[in-house]
Amino acid sequence: MNKLSIILTIAIFLLSCQKKKLKGLDDPAWKEKSLSMTLSVCEKILTCSEGFEKKLSPTSEKLFKEELSKEKCLDTFKKSNVYNLRGGDPNLIQEQYEKCSIKMQNSNCEEIQSKSFLNDDACKAIQSIQSL
């Protein structure tokens, strides 16, 4: 009996510690639009990182290029709360992501590298949604 209660206690504890997966909303129009915006942001980041990889070892340079590739960027975004409209009001998520994307696209490379665009309210909101 004692072993059973210990096992049940551990099982309840483990189940209560699991992070609940947020439900999303399947909106094909949003997914297409957000991928387009994300591609522009990925390209901006890639452009702003040009020359940096030359300072790395060949192995690190290869990894750096793979991580910053458009394909990897889009694949990562497809798993995000923003793409799947999880973690808040879908209309607000769309509005904030569009504003943050525009902010990033209008930022110069120095602002991108220093991440100063994250001071923007829309980008702060998106960062908060992504961290859920």
Question: Residue 105: inside a domain, yes or no?
Answer: yes
Question: Residue 38: inside a domain, yes or no?
Answer: yes
User: Which pLDDT score is estimated for 21?
Assistant: 63
Full domain range(s) for residue 93:
25-130
In the structure, what pLDDT confidence band is assigned to residue 6 with cuts at 50, 70 and 90? Answer: low
Question: Residue 121: inside a domain, yes or no?
Answer: yes
For the chain, the domain total comes to 1
Lowest mean pLDDT, pick from 3-17, 34-48, 60-74 = 3-17
Distance between CA 73 and CA 56 in Å, rounded?
A: 20
Answer for the pair 30, 94: CB distance below 8 angstroms, yes or no. Answer: yes
| Model pTM score | 0.78
Question: Residue 16: inside a domain, yes or no?
Answer: no
In this structure, which amino acid lies at residue 18? Q
Lowest mean pLDDT, pick from 38-42, 61-65, 127-131 = 61-65
Question: Residue 114: inside a domain, yes or no?
Answer: yes
87-119 tens-digit pLDDT: 999 999 999 999 999 999 999 999 988 889 889
